[in-house]
Amino acid sequence: MPDVAEQLDALVAGLRNIVGDALVGAYLDGSLLLGGFGPRSDIDVLAVVSRPLRDDEKRRLAELLLSVSGSTRPIELDVIVEEDVTPWRYPPPFDFQYGESLRGEIEAGRWPTGTHADLATVIAVAHTGTGGLAGPPPADVLPAVPRADYLDAILEDYREADHIIGRYPTSLVLALARIWADLTTGEIRSKADAVDWALERLPAAHAVVLSRA
């Protein structure tokens, strides 16, 4: 079974092979970048391309991800076109997206496209990195996400809490802790760091719920 580094190597090699010179860069985001990467964490990657992917490229990328994702850890990949986010627009558009929750759609040959507010969070987190998996440093490629757009994006979980709580209660509790920490401190944190921060400030009765999550 491959380890996380081998999964990343396979993903980046596949991106280079499939997309070729159109690959501008590939960058970590999420817990693997911020810290707090745990036994149940996904591998989150943001890829930037210079042009929209062709259908055959999306098909080949889908085949790669269906093979590589889950071999050790689930992979979440967002592909954005550089000129679609520079100059910045909100919500940002994506050209291709993969996550295990989309596996059924992708196996059926349907590639999600469109805009997604949460992508602002992905870009903002990736922008904090000092290096990339491929290409120039992220700050040289990715736009700086305006604070107002970033806050609007992270508050999406709060706005959708009534719909999320029944399906992903643990994830929602952790996400709310991160929202609280970020709104208060202005710092982008991993869920693990945000939980530590929140536990120091919560009343004991509420801290029990967060500790269990």
Q: Are residues 106 and 203 in the same domain?
A: no
Output the pTM of the full model: 0.91
Of 154, 173, 196, which marks where a domain is finished?
Answer: 154
93 beta partners: 115
Residue 25 has a pLDDT of 98
Q: Are residues 116 and 132 in the same domain?
A: yes
Q: Assign residue 93 the CATH number of its domain.
A: 3.30.460
Q: Are residues 131 and 175 in the same domain?
A: no
Q: Are residues 164 and 150 in the same domain?
A: no
Q: Are residues 112 and 192 in the same domain?
A: no
> 24 near 48, Cβ under 8 Å?
yes
Residue with structure tokens 């801290």? 207
Q: Are residues 165 and 60 in the same domain?
A: no
Task: Show the tokens assigned to 22.
Answer: 């159109």
Please state the separation of Cα 87 from the chain's center in Å: 21
Which amino acid makes up residue 68?
Answer: V
Q: What are phi and psi of 155, to 5 degrees?
A: -80, -5
> 120 near 140, Cβ under 8 Å?
no
Closest among 71, 74, 62 to 30, alpha carbons compared: 74
Which whole-number Å values give the CA distances from 151 to 73, 78, 168, in the listed order?
28, 20, 21
Residue 29 has a pLDDT of 93
Apex 128 CA angle, 79 and 6, nearest 5: 55
With 0-12 / 13-18 / 19 or more C-beta atoms within 10 angstroms meaning exposed / middle / buried, residue 73 is: buried
Q: Are residues 132 and 177 in the same domain?
A: no
Number of domains making up the chain: 2
Q: Are residues 201 and 105 in the same domain?
A: no
pLDDT in tens, 118-167: 999 999 999 999 889 999 999 999 999 999 999 999 998 888 878 777 87
Q: Are residues 206 and 163 in the same domain?
A: yes
Of 105, 127, 154, which marks where a domain is finished?
Answer: 154
pLDDT in tens, 66-84: 999 987 899 999 999 999 9
Q: Are residues 147 and 165 in the same domain?
A: no
Range of the domain at 143: 4-154
Residue 1 has a pLDDT of 45
Q: Comparing 116 with 171, which gets the higher pLDDT? A: 116
Q: Are residues 176 and 213 in the same domain?
A: yes
Of 154, 184, 201, which marks where a domain is finished?
Answer: 154
Q: Are residues 149 and 160 in the same domain?
A: no
